[in-house]
A and B are shown apart, each in its own frame.
Chain A
């Protein structure tokens, strides 16, 4: 369990599904940003998060647009 929870995973945004709610940007502002022109979320940097935090943002995204690479 403890080894699993320290793993980092890389996240992707499905740009067709994204509705621009900004939930991801609120939860994890270091790796998600809503583009000001398209109103679609993008991933910053290497897009990686500890797996338990990734699970939260994946679950909370209303559009189910976030997944693990």
Chain B
């Protein structure tokens, strides 16, 4: 029996997200028995199963054999076969391709190896907070949340720091491709590729590919101790990484390496400004840093959902799902599930439990950069606590009109002591 959701519980209309996550709608969906069918687009078959409870998200996420990432697309809409192939990255693959690609770079991102970036991260944190304080505040995104993660991921990749602004600009255009109007002309950055073949349908993806290809040429000629060198050496091996895989992986690392953590750092700032007592609590007890990081992540939920596609007829929470149907995991909902999080709308840095789903619900697609993101988030709020630096919000939050990224475009903050 299919329960089709009422239009008042629609959660895909991008304009809803201008006021934040529609939590009341997700709460209503979680309370319904089984899994609800959410219409999408003009055609009945384009709809999806809206998975909103924590336990169901976990089940889908962990069962990658049943719920594929390689079929259709990992966003709500299907891509044509040639577009899917052209755009395929680590995110849109299943085993064994996924395992092969992931293992090429996984060593860079293990907790043990991420520790070597601690010193650099703390020095970037110190620089951006100095800038923020020196200018007596301003746009938190521009001054702190954007530059911190991009500078760290660029150092890991081996991208010259003077190109950071250009890559942030490209990332901002990519975000437009997730919901709002595209402001770029199709031939921007000299693009000649059909937009449907480019990630986020954006000509900025072409620019990112071109940039990655130029850097790869430089590293082929003169290898360095960096990740792009590691990737071109794997590419040279032929079997391991194709040219298309390289450019999509480079694109993914730049985009995911800055956009998502930027979002977490922005929501973290907003929620600490709203709850200065939680920042004081962290200042007094730095052993809370780990659980505070988890709580900022839970609060932020930088990626609102990911989609899978059923590979066979199956059942989830008593609802029959047919092979080929879309199954969408709403992390935004799972992170406020009151069967897992007591009083889920309370921000509590001591909450703990390690069960927030901002890195996904488990399974092989668990966020590659999870431990790097944790390092960046904890380093920032640790340093703020050390400085006794608090925040006061001066202006409205300008949000991204997207049902996919929980982005904050700008928010004016003032340093307070």
User: Chain A residues in contact with chain B, CB under 8 A?
Assistant: 16-23, 25-26, 34, 36, 38-40, 59-60, 62-64
Contacts and interface: CB of A to CB of B under 8 A. Distances in A.
Given A17-B99, A20-B103, A25 B110 contact: yes
Interface string B89-112: 000000110110011101101111
B415 interface: no
Majority SS of interface residues in chain B?
A: helix
Contacts of B106: 19-22, 34, 39
25 contacts: A17-B95, A17-B99, A18-B99, A19-B99, A19-B106, A19-B364, A20-B102, A20-B107, A22-B106, A22-B110, A22-B112, A22-B371, A23-B111, A23-B366, A25-B111, A25-B112, A26-B111, A34-B107, A34-B112, A39-B103, A39-B106, A39-B107, A60-B354, A60-B362, A62-B365
B228 to A, nearest CB: 18
B62 A26 contact: no
Interface of B: 62, 95-96, 98-99, 102-104, 106-107, 109-113, 354, 362-366, 368, 371
A68 B368 CA distance: 26
Contacts of B98: 19
Contacts of B95: 16-17
A23 B367 CA distance: 12
A18 B102 CA distance: 10
A59 B355 CA distance: 11
B363 A20 contact: no
A63 B112 contact: no
Given A19-B364, A22-B371, A36-B107, 17 more contacts: A19-B98, A19-B102, A19-B103, A19-B366, A21-B106, A21-B110, A21-B368, A22-B110, A22-B112, A23-B111, A26-B110, A26-B371, A39-B106, A39-B107, A62-B364, A62-B366, A64-B363
A40 B102 CA distance: 11
Given A19-B102, A20-B103, A22-B371, A63 B364 contact: yes
Contacts of B107: 20, 34, 36, 39
A22 B103 contact: no
B366 A21 contact: yes
Nearest to B354: A60
Most buried by B among A16, A20, A60: A20
B115 to A, nearest CB: 10
Most buried by A among B104, B106, B113, B354: B106
Given A21-B366, A26-B111, A38 B99 contact: no
Contacts of B368: 21
Contacts of B365: 62
A18 B104 CA distance: 12
Contacts of A34: 106-107, 110, 112
A64 B365 CA distance: 11
Contacts of A21: 106, 109-110, 366, 368
A34 B102 CA distance: 14
A23 B96 CA distance: 20
A20 B90 CA distance: 14
B111 A64 contact: no
B111 A22 contact: yes
